[in-house]
Every structure is written in structure tokens, then in C-alpha cells.
Amino acid sequence: MADLVGWVTIENTSGTDFPAASVKLKAGDVAKIESGNPLKGRYSSQTVTVSAGAPAVTQKAFDDFHLYDLHRTVHLRDGETKQIEFLRAAGVPISRKYVYDGSGLSAVNTEGLNLDREFGVQETKKVLIVQEFKNSEANHLGIPIPAGRIRFYRQDQGGQVEFTGESTIDHTPKDATILVVTGSAFDITGERKQTDFHVDSAGRTVDESFEIKVKNVKETAVKVSVVEHLYRWSNWSISSASAQHTKADSRTVEFPIDVAANGEQTIMYTVHYSW
């Protein structure tokens, strides 16, 4: 469980003081041609966790966007920035996942056949921390949430609230699931290495094998999703694997594994490409 409080950050860049500006917000990607004139006010949403009580925000759909009224006014001098509470929700169920994406190739353009033996053999040892929750009424949320920054805090054993990470989210409709990467785990690490690579030019095939290890030095067992990107060609199949896997998309597979406390789990697999 976690408490979430959303704020709106308002920056006045108009060159004019606003002694009593009404706080309203439009959410959605509005196409606009930019001119050389200064902006008359920039609005962006942020999420933090501590704030005093405030009137409830109301929102309504308008065209393909959402309009929010925060039902309060704010005094803004030229060049001044203020934060105003936008959303408060207590006891939001949040699940934590660990993801090991050993190659980190998800953002790499891999169009076309790739026969370079060394491509994709790099590794990272970092295991990502992913927070997941649903923007639903049952979770004390359930309104369209504007894009912006989200921060997470947890209480330690002494009751002290500690910051545990932040990221950004996109415009999120009601009942959508929100996934946020908030950092990498200190006590969970991964290793990834290529163990075999063979090209059969006459047969127009490539076979490539990897060994992946995930180590957990925590005092509790963890579940880790090992993500592998099959980047060499669009026609592929997993010819052998030491663990169950699922196809996440046309070029990605995931191996969900359990790693014991102070333990290690090893995955070995071979992918067969043909063209």
C-alpha cells in the first residue's frame, strides 16, 4: 500500500504578475504551432506524497482532452513557480516487480538481417525496480491523470518516510494500469553472456545461445522477469530453453523466474533464426 498525492506545477513566464490566477489544467497532447513569442503560462503535472488537505479537483471531458478545475486561485509573480495539490489517494495497492533486461536493446533500431557476432552481446548487471498499480476507483483513484512526474515513498521499520524513486508517466485514462521504473535493485544483479553463435549461409540460418544468471543476496526470495530481445531477424524460434518463457511481442521473450533468498538462478536458451 502507498499514499499518493498529486501536485500541479505552475510557472509564470508571461512577463506579468498574476495577483489571483484561477488554477485550471488541460490534459492531452494538443497539437500547436509554436511562435517566437514567450509562453503565457506553462502547466505540467507532478506527483509527490506530502501535502495539506485541499478542495476536491473536478474534471470533465472536452473534445479528445480532459479539463480540470482545482477550485482555487494562486498569486504568481513574474518568473515564479508554485506547486498546488492536484490529487490525494490513501492506501493505493502497488505491486513491485523486478526486471532484468540484460542487453538493453529495446530502444535500438534493429531493422534488417544482423549477422554481426558481437552485436547485442553487451550486458548490464542492473535489475530494474518496476512499480505497478491500476488507476481505478477500487484503488482510490479512478480519474484521468495528466502526464507528469511520479514519486514513491515508503516507511522504514522505524516509521520514517523515505524516498524510493521517481519517474514520469504519460496521460493515463481511468482504469489503465500504470508501470513506473523507479531505479535498480542493490541486492539483485544479473549476468549475461553469449555461449554460442553459428551462421549457416547456405542454409540461411543463425543459431545463437546465451547464459543468464540472476543473483539475489536479499534475505527474502524474489520474482524476476528476464527479458530478451531477439534482434537479428524477424523469423525466429526458441529451439531450446532451460526455463518457461512467454512471447511478449514479435521480437521479445520473457522468462519469469523465482530466485531464492541468498540464491542464484541460471537460464540457458538458444534462438534459431531463418531467412
Contact 212, 124 (CB under 8 A): no
Overall domain count for the chain: 2
> Sign (positive/negative) of CA torsion 9, 13, 17, 21?
negative
Q: CA 245 from chain center: how many Å?
A: 22
Q: What is the three-class DSSP state of 137?
A: helix
Produce one character per residue of 171-191: b if its CB has 16 or more CB atoms within 10 Å, e if not.
bbeeeeebebebebbeebbbb
Pairwise pLDDT comparison (181 vs 269), residue with the higher score: 269
13-35 pLDDT tens trace = 777 776 655 555 555 443 433 43
Q: Is residue 48 part of a domain?
A: yes
Domain residues for the domain of 103 are: 95-135+176-274
Contact 85, 5 (CB under 8 A): yes
Q: Is residue 21 part of a domain?
A: yes
67-122 pLDDT tens trace = 767 666 777 778 777 776 667 777 788 888 999 999 877 655 566 788 999 888 88
My answer on whether 197 and 127 are in the same domain is yes
Name the residue type at position 197.
Answer: F
Among candidate residues 68, 92, 116, the one where a domain is terminated: 92
Query: What pLDDT does 17 receive?
Result: 73
- CA angle at residue 19 from 15 to 23, to 5 degrees? 90
Q: Tell me the average pLDDT across 126-141.
A: 91
Among candidate residues 57, 92, 127, the one where a domain is terminated: 92
My answer on whether 73 and 111 are in the same domain is no
pTM of the model: 0.73
Q: Long-range contacts for 30-37 (Cβ within 8 Å, ≥24 apart)?
A: 30/65
**Position 49 confidence tier, pLDDT thresholds 50, 70, 90:** very low
What is the distance in angstroms between the CA of the first residue and the CA of the last residue of the chain? 49
| CA distance readout (Å), 155 to 158, 162, 164, 229 | 8, 6, 10, 36
DSSP assigned state of 172: B
Q: Is residue 228 part of a domain?
A: yes
